[in-house]
Amino acid sequence: MTTASDLRGKTAEQLQENLVALKKEQFNLRFRKASGQLENTARQNEIRKDIARVKTVLHERAASA
């Protein structure tokens, strides 16, 4: 779980890479849930919120530029 203040210290490229990694993990979690192998269901909500945080920081930077 990352905080928005941690994300603001990263560059835009690092945020994009982080976003791609989070989306891949989200896909894998959905796939494991569909096949009945997902044990930690709370992780899905954490990933969803982390994606939202990254997108928010990216949007803030785009709006200020």
pLDDT of residue 2: 82
Report pTM: 0.92
CATH number 3.90.1300.10 is the correct assignment for the domain at 4-64? no
**Is residue 1 predicted with pLDDT exceeding 90?**
no
Mean pLDDT for the stretch of residues 26-55: 96
Q: What is the average pLDDT score of the chain? A: 95
Domain ranges for the chain, please list them.
4-64
Nearest Cα neighbor of 25 from 54, 4, 56 is: 54
**Residue 51 CA: distances (Å) to CA of 4, 35, 36, 48:** 11, 23, 24, 5
